[in-house]
A and B are shown apart, each in its own frame.
Chain A
Amino acid sequence: MGYIEMEHSFKRYQVGESEIIANNDVSFTIEKGELVVILGASGAGKSTVLNILGGMDTNSSGKVVIDQQDISHYDRKQLTAYRRNDVGFVFQFYNLVANLTALENVELAVEIVEDASDPATVLTDVGLAHRMHNFPAQLSGGEQQRVAIARAVAKNPKILLCDEPTGALDYHTGKQVLQILQDMSRKNGTTVVIVTHNVALAPIADRVIHMHDAKVKAIETNSIPRDIAELEW
């Protein structure tokens, strides 16, 4: 039994007359502590999968078992509690609260969970000790994304979900961010799921899920995943 299991998950959208199937019979398993990359072209249904996994969206049918809990039948409140305690989310566009400093942005998330890490420490961990009291507008994109990661990580979530975390970043910065994520998985044993369309990232993952046209096309596992630093693209 995997740590995360998606079984025959469907996501359908009713747009006017026609039905759009964003996820078509998606099934996969992820083990605890793995770094997983979901690959696929634009519109393949990656974000949909991630949102369902993160409790931000519900699937139309199928099971979503996280740590032996099937969240597919959760109600709003349960989903909120799930997001609050078990999930860390990193978006392509950071989504920091502009009115709060980097530290406060992390504190905002930490405030509502027990057993959270110290925000300052986490920020130091992501290399932002010196920018802690800066507002998002005063930070670069990479720094902002690192604050976002810090905010997600500080809660000590069971799973860390990242949707195109490097999408808005340049190569080096992207690499830095990915490094942090890989470290999270390796050092802290956090299960990390990264969605990307950058095929070059596949080697760093323990598991790569290929999606195409709303379906899982293939799942491959790397017995020896590559280190980010070694990777060039």
Chain B
Amino acid sequence: MKLSISKKQKTDADMRYLNKFIKPLASLILLLSIVGCSDKEKENETESASLNLFEYRAITVIVPNVGGRTIRGPVLDEAKLFSEKTGASVRVVTPGWKSTIGKIKESLTDPKINFDIFVIITSWGGSLLGENHIEPIPEWVKEKIEWKDVLPVYKNSILSWGNKPYGLPYDGDCVNLYYRKDIFANNTNQEKFFKKFGYKLTPPTTWDMYEDIAKFFDGWDWDDDGKIEHGIAENRLRGYGSVLQFFTRAAAYAKHPDDKAYYFDIATMKPRINNPGFVEAFEDYINIMKYGPKEMLNLQTDDIRKSFISGDVAMAIDWADMGPMAVNSDISVVKDRVGYAALPGYDRVYNNKTKKWDSQYNNPSSIAGNWTILVNKDSKDKKLAFEFAAHMTSPILTKKLITIGWTGINPSRYSHFEDMSDWDGSGFSPSDTREYLNTISKSLDNENVMVDIRIPGASKYYDVAGEYIDLALKGKMEPKEALDKISLKWDEITDSLGRKSQIQLYKKSVNY
């Protein structure tokens, strides 16, 4: 008993000792855990600040380099903003125009190369769509980009394939004529011109008239800047731009208003490229070069715009970009001096069905070279891809872009024509804006329209055309010979892709 009592006393003492220890210990632990927790919270905060919807997700966008910042510029800018905003990595690559389609093709077969978004002209789309590489636009994207607002000509034909929408409406394009309002209105020039050609100097309504005016303004300093000016600037650098310029002119000669087909016979896919209408147009196309700068062969879209806005030429054939560019580019000297007009027409038109020239004024519009945004069907992150594509083609962004010249982006929506508020800071005067938009909308209203080749193999047809057109431009081949060659090559391409299916697809592409 005695022993046990002393033991008890001892344990009591132990307890007191332990208690002494435990209390500070416990508070220390509490303190530590609080410090640890608050540390962690801070970490979480900083993390969540940078954490976003698409954190650690990446897509690659391919846009061809068409010179300068045209088309690719907005994509590069917006990709950067979008990445910053969402945490996603939107990588934009801009290979040269010529190598772009090759790189796209390569990516479709090489599993190590992947593009999620293609920003391309509609003519290339046909080949991707025909081979089923493109994801149709989902409903939620349609809603997001206000698909209903898109002009019917784009919505129903150019951006759709088999009545299903695939292309997002980045750009709406028709080719127009730009001229120097000021020098055309100049009395001396008026008198001089009348004296020389026997009719009044006005914006040209025919290609013949266009040639007269070009001739008139070429080779002298008509603006007193001490520099020799030229009549025109047109795209002649080997490639799509040059070919398109040719097809745009040839439309007046060979795009019969009663025939939806233009490049090929609708029933046989037999090329019409070497018919008398195309030949005559091609000869004029070559002939006109003498009224442009000596480096005309090196000029592509971007250069033409630069030469026009820097006051080097009196007229230019270009997409709608020229308008805004003229008023808001730094190097522009032609602000408020630009006139807008529909493309010139022709006094007769070749009827391919009758194989005869019809004597009637023919003035079709050229709705070609539209830029669209397509999402790869095999993209590993379609959601992100569509998010970005929708961002790029939203009414708000495009409305801003159409007012900026260098972007290459032109009206494609009803809203682009209706609400003028965005033009306020563009440099356009309100009257100019109306004139500009009227010209475009008139072109778009035209029943007789020339569009791109939009069938699989389009780039091949264009490449072949570009190659032989270039040879003829350089005098290495007779115009007729070059066009015959193109016709021959086109048939080869058609056969290699399957004539029957090409016929069907061509019919589809012209809404026959």
Asked whether A and B interact, the reply is no
